[in-house]
């Protein structure tokens, strides 16, 4: 990946920046203001890959991403799990009793909800964690703090008042690596795979039950099932499914054939190797 260009949302010091550095340490990167900007850079050929957070073990799914993915012309190439250690950052010399406001991305604030309440800090939502940290320099006020990474503290010369400000240990964010190319790996019996797809069901009684029945009868494990309203509709839902298996497996093909009788617009988002982090979670009964 040395010559690849990676797009991510945020600025230097954001958790997406950390994740990108861990997965693609020798690649170039483009920091983007929004998730959509990062995806469009890949769609337009100005970046090779986008690294996008989709869910967190504490705060749940990143709602915006589930709505963007079905509209994009990108494919899931891989997944990455990034441990997230939230730090409470402030100007040098700041004390806990000085702080009134704590800013960060809404997902990060949600992951520190209990700690914020314990200290009666007022949460202030920002576009990203590192941006909130950088803004402290401009505000130049000890009443303001930010939730961000230790890398952000280093980059912006901020003091870490609490290096474990998150509510739960083991807080982890799952990232998707997106590409224009649909590189489906060969089904190797020694490896495990995930097939991700989206669909919406027909407007008939018990449509979802019938649509999912094919997975049960063919012994297919659904790792994740997410539903959300389709744009411009209050009575139609779209479903995102992560399936334990490779699309070339006969039993999965049979299940998808059954799904097609009850679903509209089935779109395969990608087939990729199951990350080994999932096995660690399973061993800890977290999967």
Last residue of a domain, one of 119, 149, 179: 179
For 101-110, the pLDDT digits (tens) are: 999 999 899 9
Residue-level pLDDT at 128: 86
For 48-75, the pLDDT digits (tens) are: 999 999 998 888 888 889 889 888 899 9
Could you tell me if 213 and 250 lie in one domain?
yes
Which is higher by pLDDT, 160 or 208?
A: 160
pLDDT level of residue 286 (50, 70, 90 thresholds):
very low
Cα gap 270→178, rounded to integer Å: 9
Burial class of residue 285 in the structure, from the number of CB atoms within 10 Å of its CB (0-12 exposed, 13-18 middle, 19+ buried)? exposed
Whole-number Cα distances in Å, 6 to 3, 65, 87, 174: 10, 17, 26, 17
Could you tell me if 203 and 271 lie in one domain?
yes
Q: Name the percent of the chain lying above pLDDT 70.
A: 94
Active-site positions?
173, 175
Residue 219 has pLDDT above 50, yes or no: yes
Could you tell me if 126 and 151 lie in one domain?
yes
Could you tell me if 22 and 101 lie in one domain?
no
Domain residues for the domain of 229 are: 193-283
CB 87 within 8 A of CB 163: yes
Maximum alpha-carbon separation in the chain: 64
Residue-level pLDDT at 287: 47
Could you tell me if 93 and 150 lie in one domain?
yes
Tell me the pairing of strands 193-201 and 159-162.
unpaired
Q: The tokens of 230 are what? A: 């389709």
For 246-281, the pLDDT digits (tens) are: 999 999 999 999 999 888 889 999 999 999 998 876
Residue 11 has pLDDT above 60, yes or no: yes
In-domain check, residue 113: yes
């Amino acid at each position: 990946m040395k010559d690849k260009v990676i797009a991510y949302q945020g600025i230097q010091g954001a958790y997406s920046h950390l994740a990108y550095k861990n997965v693609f340490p020798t690649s170039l990167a483009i920091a983007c203001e929004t998730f959509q900007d990062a995806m469009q850079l890949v769609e337009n050929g100005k970046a090779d890959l986008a690294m996008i957070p989709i869910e967190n073990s504490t705060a749940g799914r990143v709602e915006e991403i589930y709505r963007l993915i079905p509209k994009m012309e990108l494919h899931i190439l891989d997944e990455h799990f990034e441990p997230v250690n939230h730090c409470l950052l402030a100007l040098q010399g700041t004390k806990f009793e000085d702080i009134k406001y704590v800013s960060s991305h809404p997902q990060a604030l949600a992951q520190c909800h209990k700690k914020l309440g314990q200290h009666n800090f007022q949460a202030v939502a920002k576009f990203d964690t590192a941006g909130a940290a950088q803004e402290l320099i401009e505000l130049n006020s000890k009443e303001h703090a930010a939730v961000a990474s230790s890398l952000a503290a280093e980059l912006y010369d901020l003091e870490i008042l609490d290096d474990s400000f998150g509510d739960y240990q083991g807080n982890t964010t799952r990232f998707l690596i997106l590409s224009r190319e649909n590189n489906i790996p060969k089904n190797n019996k020694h490896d495990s795979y995930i097939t991700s797809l989206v669909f919406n069901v027909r407007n008939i009684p018990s449509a979802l039950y019938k649509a999912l029945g094919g997975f049960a009868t063919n012994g297919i494990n659904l790792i994740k099932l997410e539903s959300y309203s389709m744009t411009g509709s209050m009575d139609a839902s779209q479903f995102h499914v992560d399936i334990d298996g490779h699309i070339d497996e006969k039993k999965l093909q049979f299940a998808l054939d059954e799904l097609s009788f009850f679903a509209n617009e089935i779109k395969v988002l990608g087939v990729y190797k199951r990350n080994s982090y999932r096995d660690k979670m399973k061993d800890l009964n977290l999967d």
